Amino acid sequence: MKPYPFYFVIAALALYVTFFIIPSLAGIAYSFTDWSSYSEEVSFVGLDNFRTILSPDESYLSFIGNTLVFTFWTIILKTAFGLGLALLLNRGVRSFVNGYRVLIYLPAILPTLVVALIFRSILNPATGLLNSLLRSVGLDGLALSWLTDPAIALYAVIGVDSWKGIGYIMVILLAGLQTIPRDYYEAAEIDGAGAWAKFRYITLPMLAPALMIVTVLNVLYGLRIFDIVYALTNGGPGYATEVLSTEIFKAFSKGQFGLGTAISSILFLILVVTGYLVIRVMERQPDRQ
């Protein structure tokens, strides 16, 4: 019976190589070709696809910029509000605690398409609930074209995505807060530490592993964002909300497979580098306390 676990490991490794490693390497290889649906021949074109993507004359650099802006702001918003809500619930809002948790987490389990349809209605510039509410209280100047103005459309998408994901981040951080022994806080109170000192010297250092987890998850999610952007704006107006994943989808839809795999390769490189840097930075934080 002893050899069987070894066979399972070999089988799992073979499946991983077959369905993940080989397709990934094939994708990278095809990024150096002109593979498309318009020709049966596939020719090696070297770095031409990457030159096209990184050319200032093309729009791809703006797609990379939109992806990075989306990732940065969703990390800030989700972590800040998620941590604030986690701290509030951890302190014990006495009444209806479990109900609050369910309500806050509920948006995270809603289908993205449902969320997009709801907010497309809410953010409608003419008949949307948000603008109607603003006009009703005399704030007509704040009634904007949220999803159709190129200057603010990306930030509207960021707001919607952050609203959807705050509950998920809150749950992770709340679990981290509940692992911190109360003895530390009691000892700090005896020493005369205030609320900020306890947060600065006890909560943050002890919560560092959970913060690292949510930061890495947010980075990986933000860089790969597709569904909420596609459902809300489809990359518009113009290219104002176009991100790398939506452009990959459109490249493949147009039959530009070589270009699509090149964009995928760049996204993969950004994911690896950014994820590695975030982990290294977050791992050093406790040492500074």
Per the model's pLDDT, the better-predicted residue between 1 and 145 turns out to be: 145
3-state secondary structure 253-273: HCCCHHHHHHHHHHHHHHHHH
**CA 157 to CA 105: how far, in whole Å?**
19
- pLDDT for 111 equals 92
Q: Which whole number is the average pLDDT over 254-281?
A: 89
Q: Is 243 left (phi over 0), alpha (psi -120 to 50) or beta?
A: beta
171, pLDDT greater than 60: yes
DSSP assignment letter at 284: H
Nearest to 259 by CA among 267, 199, 16: 267
- Least confident range of 78-82, 184-188, 245-249: 184-188
Structure tokens at 161: 């995505």
Written as one string, the DSSP assignment of 139-159 is: -GGG---TTT-TTTHHHHHHH
Where do the structural domains in the chain lie, given as residue ranges?
A: 55-288
The answer to whether 84 and 77 are in contact (CB under 8 A) is no
**CA 267 to CA 262: how far, in whole Å?**
9
Q: How confident is the model at residue 96 (pLDDT cuts 50, 70, 90)?
A: low
pLDDT in tens, 26-76: 888 999 999 998 888 889 999 999 999 988 877 899 999 999 999 999 999
Half-sphere exposure of 146 (CA within 13 A, CB side): 24
pLDDT in tens, 191-216: 888 888 989 889 998 998 899 999 99
1, pLDDT greater than 80: no
Half-sphere exposure of 222 (CA within 13 A, CB side): 31
Q: Which whole number is the average pLDDT over 1-8?
A: 64
287, pLDDT greater than 50: no
CATH number of 55-288: 1.10.3720.10
